[in-house]
Amino acid sequence: MTASPSPPRPRRPRPVGHLAAAYGLLALTALLFLVFSLALPGTFPTRETINAILATQSIPAILALAAMVPIVTRAFDLSIGYGLGLAHVMVLQLIVEGHWPWPLACLAVLVGAGVVGVLNGVIVEFGQIDSFIATLGTGSMLYAVTGWVTGGARIVPGPGGLPTGFTDLYDSTFLGVPVPAFYVLALVAVLWLVLERLPLGRSLYVVGSNPRAADLLGIPTRKYTVYAFTASGLITGFAGVLLAAQLQVGNPSVGLDYLLPAFAGALLGSTAVRPGRANPLGTLVAVTVLAVGLTGIAQLGGDFWTTPLFYGGTLLLAVGLAGYSARRRLRAGTAARDLPSAPPPPP
């Protein structure tokens, strides 16, 4: 007696197509670098330009990682730009006006930023307010606190300047590379370990992809979402400390300039490395391609309006690609579940 033929197995995605989807953004980065190097051989492919990119784009990269963590749970933290502005003026206020030791001032700002993240998570989950509205409201309140602390004026250090140890957080180098680049790499490594290798990260992805399934699995969705917002707040506070060390002047309105680049990097990053979901490695690749593109455009003599145009267009493209990747991932999972299982072999 011959066994009945088993039903056809689903066709797996072609390896070439999968690699193109996962690493296409990385290939675009290399292509842009090559194009600008050929167009600007005397200025673009130089050590000075690379170090400038690594230094100036470290804070946007860190803030993009701060935006990325809540996106994992399908939430958005619009308060990060306002939080960045408050964090950087608070650390300068404590050092310049309060005469605090700079390590203690940095620690206090990080604790405060973590508290803000907890409040955001509590308002979103326990107050049942949409994350867009909730974090926009808390962000506006943070901006009001920034204006109250500074009186609408800049915080300028005295003739002695800021402590050298504090400014070295941003200005120093290691092995000829700006130290802020190592902060970004370390943060990416920690987030990758947590999200890809630890149960906490897997639970966060389940909460973001299917909250009902998370409830059935016994995952406390509210608590994990609060965790995500807390991490976002802490990372934002760290970015604020670095911004203060970079600018060395407290500007109450500077934080909003970083909001659009952060979300452009985080959303565009969800189309790379692990297409269809936010991930730290993809965010790093996205920030890199944005940095290379903006630097090349600037060296070609682009006007001031090209920067917001570039970020706005990239954000729209990122949202579209992220949605497409997520739908493709969902269709692939649904098709695999709907296929009948093969019949058992005959005795």
User: Does residue 1 surpass a pLDDT of 70?
Assistant: no
**Residue 87 banded pLDDT, cuts 50, 70, 90:** very high
User: Does residue 178 surpass a pLDDT of 90?
Assistant: yes
pTM attached to this predicted model? 0.86
Q: Which amino acid is at 307?
A: T
User: Does residue 338 surpass a pLDDT of 50?
Assistant: no
Mean per-residue pLDDT, 144-166 = 92
d(CA 232, CA 79): 10
User: Does residue 309 surpass a pLDDT of 60?
Assistant: yes
**Residue 165 banded pLDDT, cuts 50, 70, 90:** very high
What's the pLDDT tens digit per position in 25-79? Answer: 788 888 889 998 998 898 998 999 999 999 999 999 999 999 999 999 999 999 9
Joined tokens for residue 44: 């673009």
Please tell me which residue, 302 or 331, carries the higher pLDDT value: 302
pLDDT the model gives residue 199:
93
Joined tokens for residue 141: 């309140």
CB pairs under 8 A, 24+ apart, for 152-155? 152/252, 153/252, 154/249, 154/250, 154/251, 154/252, 155/89, 155/92, 155/93, 155/96, 155/97, 155/249, 155/250
User: Does residue 333 surpass a pLDDT of 70?
Assistant: no
Among 106-120, 197-211, 293-307, the least confident range:
293-307
User: Does residue 17 surpass a pLDDT of 70?
Assistant: no
